[in-house]
Structure 1
Amino acid sequence: MTLTALSAPIASSPHGPCAVLHVDTRDVDEQAALLTDWHQDYAQLSAGGFAGRIDEAWLDGVHLFVEATSQRLHQRGELRADRLALGLPLALPEVVQAGPARFCGRSDWQSCDGDGAGEPGAGHFCTFSGRGGFEFFTPAGLVMAGMEFDRAELARLATPEEQALIERIGQVATLHRAPHGALATLRDFVRGAFEMLAAQPQLLRNPAMRSMLRQAAQSNALELLVGAAALPPDAGQRPRALVEQARAIVDRDPEMPVTVAMLCAELQTSRRTLQAAFQQVLGLAPAAYLRATRLAGARRALREAPSVTEAAAQWGFWHFGHFAQDYRRMYGELPSQTWRRLHPGVAGPGH
């Protein structure tokens, strides 16, 4: 992980009153941990080495960021109850090459309305806040902008009617439709702010400049939230419900290997039906999803396991050669290389 402080933070922590940081990562778990207090975990779903980056600016409690990830990911997280966060894609690759984007069960990012042609995900943004946290299946090559605020402070800037709308929007993480003008304005604001701060990071140490940037972020966010209208329910509820039930079975005992046959038996459905549901909802076959989930678990286990073999066995990989091949195909390195990187100075793990 490479961290660059574009401006020295005023406080002792980069999460103090103000700071601007740029971080490059080559590890999906390091990437997941970058957003403070988001309690995230990422599981890689596409094969290849991972590359990620994040640019962040803290403005006295207002948090702006742009995150880029090279591979398909399954992201889960949950913010503190006093924070309200929203996000919108700055670059959303074509589904065919990169895989679908699905946020909290909705996949309407590219259902553009009006004259939003040319803007990725035009017409839609997501809110990350709310009970139960959020879940995001992201395509490879996604570049996502985010804004995070103190919920009570943002509400104080709104009228009573707007406060009720903001409160409703912030209850559950989901995808929203909004006027194209507000979305375009917010994209331009985020891009412009980070370009300015990259060129002249010292501006953030000027209280007046910082206050103006902070107020602009709050104003643009309120414009977007107030203009938002909740999307209608998804069509095809049955496939999504089936996938959610299957994933609940997997999550019930994460370290107990689950097979497609076991899922079909417990869900009382055919393999063909389960296959079609996973392809429609996640763009993955159920077997590929199960393998990616177990590989992600084994990768996390390597941080604490005394050997690669124990980490593999803990997640149901009993043929070490096949495990090593699948792991290298997914992450671009052997599990032994990951283990040595996570345990510098310790004798090699062998198997």
Structure 2
Amino acid sequence: MGSSAPHHAPDSPWVQVLDTQDMDQHALAQQGWALHYEQLSPGQFKGRIHQVQLPEVTLLREDTSIALRQRGRLDDSVYGFAMALQDSPDLFFNGQRVPAHAIMCGKGDEVDLTTPPHFTLIAVVVERSLLNPLWERMYQKPLAHWLEKQLVLQTTDIKAQNLRDLQLTVLDQASALAHRQHDPQALRQLRDEILMEWLEALPAQVDTSELPNLERRKKLVDRACELMMGHADEPLSILEVCSRVGTSRRKLNYCFQDVLGTTPIKYLRSLRLNSVRRALRQAAPGETIQDIASHWGFWHLSQFAQDYKHLFGELPSDTLRQR
């Protein structure tokens, strides 16, 4: 375990560096945010959070070892800007595939991020009360309306690399200053320097014409997931799901690949296995693996145990003993 943030006055800077081996603990450790993670690729979870809280701005570096879907919210009053430290073809943000050298941005009332294994995210989260006047000073106009959406915006490879280098440098420098609890002017200068770098990396023109199509595909995927998880003990066939959401099997598969980079069947199996794992960790005395597995639609226990071990690297009985 790394160090966690001490208690400070609301406006005091603080630093958190935390190493985790539990996905749910990792999600909960990101202070002030409500996030929920699902494991999508095989392996044991290992993560690290490096978070620096400055007045009206949070700087973040997050390292994770396995593929995840991260969902939740930051806050209605903040905007987030994020980028992968290493580009990956298997990164999706709010149903949009993220190309190389791209910035993920938008209002913090919704987060939906699907990340590949061995992934590092850098991000800055800024309060509207700071971003709005800064934006007006920089561009002589109000905050862009497209920031209310969740967007993937292209920047240049040079700007992307400069941004990555500066974010890592500022994280270290701000951490050192915050630990010493002095020189607020130096902290503000660092904060403003990194925030300006993020804003200046954004493109001059933003085209949102494709957003309605993207949002429709994502809504279809979300409806299908909700429907499938609502019948966990008796999983619906894909044809039944298609009938209920009003689409063809081909379109459903296309939408899942487009939004999450996987198939409906594979994604649903991962969700159900994640749910079993959480239930095993919270099992009541006398509750059996078979009880929990069947509740989530796993009736063939030998195949279930094999699938479980493949995803999590341990048997269901190992998880139950650790609760």
Instruction: Say which of 302, 313, 317 aligns to 2:298.
Output: 317
Q: Does 1:173 align with 2:163?
A: no
Q: What's the counterpart of residue 15 of structure 2? A: 20
Q: How much is the aligned-residue C-alpha RMSD, in angstroms? A: 3.1
The 5-angstrom pairing of residues 1-351 of structure 1 reads 2-5=1-4, 9=6, 12-13=7-8, 17-93=12-88, 95=89, 100-110=90-100, 122=101, 124-131=102-109, 133-159=110-136, 162=139, 164=141, 166-178=143-155, 182-196=159-173, 201=176, 204-208=179-183, 210-225=184-199, 227-228=202-203, 229-231=205-207, 233-234=209-210, 237=213, 241=216, 244-252=219-227, 254-257=229-232, 258-306=236-284, 307=287, 308-341=289-322, 343=323
Identity of paired residues, percent? 28
Provide the C-alpha distance between the structure 1 equivalents of 2:226 and 2:162, rounded to a whole number of angstroms: 40
Deviation at 1:178, TM superposition (A): 3.6
Provide the C-alpha distance between the structure 2 equivalents of 1:125 and 1:277, rounded to a whole number of angstroms: 22
With over 3 angstroms needed to count, the CA separation of the structure-2 counterparts of 1:181 and 1:212, relative to structure 1, is farther
Provide the C-alpha distance between the structure 2 equivalents of 1:23 and 1:159, rounded to a whole number of angstroms: 36
Provide the C-alpha distance between the structure 2 equivalents of 1:109 and 1:188, rounded to a whole number of angstroms: 19
| Contact persistence 2:82–2:124 (CA under 8 A) | yes
| Contact persistence 1:128–1:134 (CA under 8 A) | no
Moved more, 320-329 or 176-185: 176-185
With over 3 angstroms needed to count, the CA separation of the structure-2 counterparts of 1:236 and 1:165, relative to structure 1, is closer
TM-score, normalised with respect to structure 1: 0.77
Deviation at 1:277, TM superposition (A): 4.0
Deviation at 1:312, TM superposition (A): 2.3
With over 3 angstroms needed to count, the CA separation of the structure-2 counterparts of 1:285 and 1:253, relative to structure 1, is closer
TM-score, normalised with respect to structure 2: 0.83
Q: Which runs of 5+ in 1 are unaligned?
A: 111-121, 344-351
Provide the C-alpha distance between the structure 2 equivalents of 1:62 and 1:316, rounded to a whole number of angstroms: 44
With over 3 angstroms needed to count, the CA separation of the structure-2 counterparts of 1:327 and 1:231, relative to structure 1, is farther
